Amino acid sequence: MSWKVTLPCTRAEAEALQVEDIALADLDPLPVLMTSERVPDDAEQWQLDAYFEEAPGAATIDALKSLVPSSTDAQPVIEEIVEEDWVTISQEGLEPVHAGRFYVHTESNKGDVPEGAHPIRIEASRAFGTGTHETTSGCLIALDALKRRGARFDNLLDLGTGTGLLAFAALHLWPRAHATASDIDPASIEVTRENAGINGVAIGGGAGELALAVASGMQHPLLTQSAPYDLIIANILAGPLVELAPSVADALAEGGTLLVAGLLDRHVDMVARAYRAQGLRLAQRIPRGDWPTLRFVKRTRYGPARTRRLSRGSGEAPGFGSW
């Protein structure tokens, strides 16, 4: 049994939502937050649905309202949901995603895999990255395009991996590469490990295997020892992308490729400036609604003192912090 609270909000509020917001810090477990349009193409007519394991009290409702200030005077809609959990609810209405050569699906919506497509099963879970969002599908399209142009990568990093989807896709395209997936959230690494088992991806430090690390940005021995990377994928947010620009650029090999997503159109110039300052050029912009994917290439005249790979280790590494 669970509970659902619905509040009106704006698109801007929806995009800014963070379940780790201090307003919800005293709630255990944290609610699951989902947003959607109430009126198509109306930025002022969105809604927030919050799912709780127990009936929310007045203080909880007030904390939820503080996340979407436009709902201050609104009457919340509170529903009891019997014999359903948030994973089931979040999957209702989800359609499989066909992006590039990849076909991302859940156990229940697989249907017929398109001819020539590579299926990846990713269930809705505690981590971001089921393929349905433009940021994730944009990265899948970018990876597919790189392969079609004949790109080859031997050492890659999925920074902020979420569910592991993009790392799995990259390993499918370059199956002999060394691959690392990291995330600041330990739950994401647990989910990635589970999804790796479902999709037949080996966990470890060898060629064709995926090494995992709970890491704050690039600050982890496994990430620094495995550098330089010839491909880095970072589907995170505009703020961390800018903050991490020096360390990400330093970990990228000369001539290497960086794919970034998680930013809105209005953030492109800011993110591009941050990476240009580190010797990367913007080679491609892939539009996906309001959420573009950017491809950067590191200029070969930069980075004479590059990090050298020391050891792949066991493929597992503890420790985490904040961006």
Q: What is the reported pTM?
A: 0.69
User: Where does a domain end: 38, 59, 90?
Assistant: 90
Does 158 share its domain with 67? no
Task: List the one residue out of 66, 9, 64, 73 whose CA is nearest residue 36.
Answer: 9
16 confidence band (pLDDT: 50, 70, 90)? confident
d(CA 210, CA 231): 14
**Backbone torsions φ then ψ of 311, nearest 5 degrees:** -160, 145
* Binding residue ranges for S-adenosyl-L-methionine: 136, 160, 183, 235
* Binding residue ranges: 136, 160, 183, 235
Q: Structurally, how many domains does the chain consist of?
A: 2
Does 289 share its domain with 156? yes
The whole-number pLDDT of residue 319 equals 35
The CATH number linked to 83 is 3.30.70
Task: Express each pLDDT in 266-306 by its tens digit.
Answer: 999 999 999 999 999 999 999 988 889 999 999 986 444 44
The CATH number linked to 258 is 3.40.50.150
Does 161 share its domain with 268? yes
Residue 161's domain comprises 150-298
Percent of the chain with pLDDT over 90: 59
DSSP SS3 for 279: coil
